[in-house]
Chains A and B, each alone.
Chain A
Amino acid sequence: MTTTKSSRPTPDATLARIRKRCGEGFFSVSSHLDNLRLHVPPEKLVELTTRLRDEFGFHLTELGGADYLGYPGRSSASHRFEVHYVLLNYETAERLILKTGVSDPDPVLPTLVPVWAGADWLEREVFDMYGIVFQGHPDLRRILMPEDFRSFPLRKDYPLRGRGERHNFERVTREDS
Chain B
Amino acid sequence: MAVTQKPFELPGKSGKSSSGVFAPEGTIITSLDAVVNWCRKNSLWPMPFATACCGIELMAVGSSRFDIARFGAEVMRFSPRQCDLMIVAGRVVMKMMPVLQRIWLQMPEPKYAISMGACASSGGIFDTYAVVQGVDRFIPIDVYIPGCPPRPESILRAVMDMQSKVQKGGSTLGTQGLPELRQMEEQLIQIRARNTLPGIATERSDESRFGYRLPGGESLVGRSETL
Which residues does A use to contact B, with CB under 8 Å? 69-70, 145-146, 150-151, 153, 155-177
Q: Is the CB of A159 within 8 A of B130?
A: no
Given contacts A161-B129, A172-B104, A173-B185, contact A167 B212 (CB under 8 A): no
B97 at the A interface (CB under 8 A):
yes
B35 beta carbon closer than 8 Å to chain A: no
- For A156, list chain B residues within 8 Å (CB): 210
Give the chain B neighbours of A158 by CB distance below 8 A.
129, 212
CA distance A106 to B102 in the complex (A): 38
Alpha-carbon distance between A15 and B182 when the two chains are bound, in angstroms:
72
Chain B binding site: helix, strand, loop or mixed by DSSP? Answer: loop
Interchain CA distance A94-B111 in the complex, whole Å: 60
Return 6 A-B CB contacts under 8 Å, by A number.
Answer: A160-B128, A161-B127, A164-B200, A164-B220, A165-B129, A169-B132
Knowing A146-B95, A172-B101, the reply to whether A165 touches B219 (Cβ < 8 A) is: yes
The stretch of B17-25, B48-56, B133-141 in contact with A is B133-141
Q: Provide the bound-state CA to CA distance between A156 and B212, in Å.
A: 10
Bound state CA distance, A69 and B209, in angstroms?
Answer: 12
Smallest beta-carbon distance B148→chain A, Å: 20
Q: Would you list which residues of chain B between 124 and 178 have a CB under 8 Å from chain A?
A: 127-133, 137-140, 176-177
- Identify B139's interface contact among A162, A164, A167, A172, CB under 8 A: A172
**Minimal beta-carbon separation of A10 from chain B (angstroms):** 42
Beyond A153-B129, A171-B222, 13 additional pairs, beta carbon < 8 A: A150-B216, A151-B215, A159-B129, A162-B130, A166-B94, A166-B130, A168-B199, A168-B219, A171-B138, A172-B104, A172-B140, A173-B188, A177-B139
